[in-house]
Amino acid sequence: MRIVLVHPAGSNWIKGKQDLAAVANRMAPIGILSIASFLERQGHEVFVHDCLGPRAAPATDDNVKLVLSREPDMVGFSATTSGFMDGYRMAVRIKQARQRAITVFGGVHISALGGALLERFPGMDYLCIGEGEATLSELADGRSPESIEGLAWYDGNRIVTNPPRRQISDLDALPFPAYGKLEGFPRGYNLPLFSYTRTPGATMITSRGCPYQCSYCDRSVFKRGFRYNSAGYIYDHMKHLRTLFGVRHVNIYDDLFTLNRARIEELCGLLTSRPLGMNFNCAVRVGHADDDLLRMLKSAGCLMVSVGIESADSELLKRHKSGVSLDEVRDTVARIRRRGLRAKGLFMMGLPGETEDSVRLTSDFVMSLGLDDMNMAKFTPFPGAPIWAGIEEEGTLENDWQQMNCLNFVFIPRGIASRERLDQLYNEHVKRFYSSPEWRRTFAKRLWQHRWSLLYLVRHLPSFARAKKNFEPARQSLSGKQKYS
């Protein structure tokens, strides 16, 4: 069967503004690349179309024409919440032009909402709920829909949701993602600026699932278990990227990369004894990053470690990210830096219960840590997250899927006066961090290390200049009369 897997563009920037997100950080769509390699191994002819790729067309109709040019028998869409409508519009146009093509949707948004989506959006033939590799393979092989686990479908006018798909227990049995199917990979896919010192870069995911239950995380696809690739598989995966594509830096986007200590020790041993000439970034959980672990990561080529912190308000932490204390955060960040690793803090603004006081508290805490980098996400309630069920009791929600991308405030907690005020607080916080003398001194010392990022920035200066306008100083300061102390 001829299959095209599509990564819809969706809305990846601020409402009403030009979409420039991919210029700053264009990630390979690992999920559909994994499915593509699995389907190809089963004997199918597979193409990947990334609507956010460096050579993709800007208009929906043009992307539809590119998909149709492959004469597909099946078109699969992997959709986030913000990308679903873009994918659905493409699917409707594809079915109009090529009725025999089967359209299948999967991804986190589909897994969260399930078969009910077929009632509202009848232009889809099938929904893949949960992991997609085996489900799509069985559908492509021609098996009857009623026998395929994890599938939602039409039986005449009746919507049927089959029993859930059993999770893949051995992730090492999966082939490496089909990076080579992306046009322009790897040079056209760029990591976040100043997060690397070597190019080109790529992304990897080495585990699935998470045993923790943060209020804002949607675990609809991989659930709460924790499955992972072995150290040998990860090493071979990195070697594959280095040998075939010349990749010199990898961002590992696991939620809990270091949860299984034994595999990290083995991986670090392999990377130290048989170096690949690569650096990598990863994340650690607060309180689970002892000095020996950090030393091993550094020796293996780790450049930067991210730490999920979210807020400095202890009550917000208890409610939304239990098991993390501010003292542990301080200790973890300090030890990361002492070991010669860069520390990046991950935060979230606008959680239910947020107030101007908690925003100010978090910003002061950020400044006290001496972080090398920081990311402040805009809290977005997703349909599959635990917080979703009661979200409308916590504040004001604009239930616009296309804007649910952590780059727009679609939810305003009761403790914040308005969306405009929350945006103002956010912009001032971001500018405060990156304009601080301490951060600028650290940055200046690393200018040569950041030469590749600076060169990329210069090449795309007009786009970055347009993006910067979203973070211009607001007229009113955080306290109304005074800035942060």
Domains assigned to the chain: 2-161 (3.40.50.280), 191-471 (3.80.30.20)
Residue 21 has pLDDT above 90, yes or no: no
Are 11 and 5 spatial neighbours (Cβ–Cβ below 8 Å)? no
Q: Residue 18 — very low, low, confident or very high, per pLDDT cuts 50/70/90? A: low
Residues 75-134 pLDDT 10s: 999 999 999 999 999 999 999 999 999 999 999 999 999 999 999 999 899 999 999 999
Q: Residue 469 — very low, low, confident or very high, per pLDDT cuts 50/70/90? A: low
Tokens (6 digits) for 284: 């650690």
Q: Residue 323 — very low, low, confident or very high, per pLDDT cuts 50/70/90? A: confident
In this predicted structure, what is the pLDDT of residue 12?
Answer: 62
In this predicted structure, what is the pLDDT of residue 476?
Answer: 42
Query: pTM for the whole thing?
Result: 0.93
Measured CA to CA, the distance from residue 117 to residue 352 in angstroms comes to: 27
Residues 145-167 pLDDT 10s: 999 999 999 999 899 999 999 99
Backbone angles phi, psi at 387, to 5 degrees: -70, -15
In this predicted structure, what is the pLDDT of residue 22?
Answer: 67
Reported in sequence order, the residue ranges of 51-169 that DSSP labels E, i.e. its strands, are: 74-78, 102-106, 126-128, 151-155, 158-161
Taking residues 310-324, what's their average pLDDT?
Answer: 91
Taking residues 336-349, what's their average pLDDT?
Answer: 97
Residue 481 has pLDDT above 50, yes or no: no
Measured CA to CA, the distance from residue 475 to residue 312 in angstroms comes to: 26
- Least trusted range by pLDDT, from 64-68, 306-310, 335-339, 466-470: 466-470
Q: Which residue in the block uniquely carries the two structure tokens 């601020």?
A: 14
Measured CA to CA, the distance from residue 36 to residue 34 in angstroms comes to: 5
Q: At what angle do helices 356-369 and 326-338 cross, to 10 degrees?
A: 30
Q: Which of 171-175, 225-229, 284-288, 404-408 has the highest mean pLDDT?
A: 171-175
In this predicted structure, what is the pLDDT of residue 412?
Answer: 98
Taking residues 286-314, what's their average pLDDT?
Answer: 95
Q: Is 469 helix (H, G, I), strand (E, B) or coil?
A: helix
158: β partners? 155
182: β partners? none
Please name the helix (run of DSSP H) or strand (run of DSSP E) that holds residue 280, with its range, or none. Answer: strand 279-284
What letter would DSSP give residue 388?
Answer: G
Residues 197-248 pLDDT 10s: 999 999 999 999 888 888 999 878 877 788 999 999 999 999 999 999 999 9
Which has more pLDDT, 353 or 9? Answer: 353
